[in-house]
């Protein structure tokens, strides 16, 4: 059984084959901890523009389709929004830190 403190992702055949493990973020002790926001795109579209409200560029963004599969769009972000582009119309969510 996998360690519950790690997320293990099997990469699709279109990606490099193998497994990648992501370590969890350390718990914040108050003051200066990371803020994780989940943003949802309910309507399928080839472009997403979502307001993250962090007041800074996100350090990282992780995208999932509407059924929870990890996806890898082209994206950029600024202090206010995250912008993602897809080949096919996609709905889903993104977690930003």
What residues are paired with 94 via a beta bridge?
39, 63
In this model, does residue 34 exceed pLDDT 70? no
pLDDT at 77 over 70: yes
Residues spanned by the domain of 82:
35-96
For residue 62, tell me if it sits in a domain: yes
Evaluate whether residue 49 is within a structural domain: yes
The answer to the question of residue 4 being in a domain is no
- For residue 87, is it within any domain? yes
Across all residues in the chain, what is the average pLDDT?
A: 77
Instruction: Give residue 88's pLDDT.
Output: 95
Structure-block tokens of residue 85: 């582009």
Q: Is 58 a member of any domain?
A: yes
| Residue in this structure with the two tokens 């599969």, named with its chain if needed | 69
Indicate the number of domains in the chain: 1
82 or 35, higher pLDDT? 82
Report yes or no on 61 lying in a domain: yes
Distances (CA, A) of 71 to 28, 34, 43, 62, 79: 27, 23, 16, 8, 23
pLDDT of residue 35: 76
CATH number of the domain where residue 79 is located = 2.60.40.10
């Amino acid at each position: 059984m996998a360690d519950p403190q790690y997320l293990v992702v099997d990469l699709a055949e279109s990606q490099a084959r193998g497994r990648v493990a992501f370590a969890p973020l350390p718990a914040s002790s108050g003051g200066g901890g990371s803020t994780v926001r989940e943003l949802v795109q309910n309507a399928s579209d080839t472009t997403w523009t979502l307001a993250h409200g962090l007041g800074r560029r996100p350090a990282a963004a992780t995208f999932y389709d509407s059924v929870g599969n990890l996806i890898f769009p082209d994206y950029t972000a600024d202090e206010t929004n995250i912008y993602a582009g897809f080949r096919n119309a996609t709905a889903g969510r993104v977690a930003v830190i």
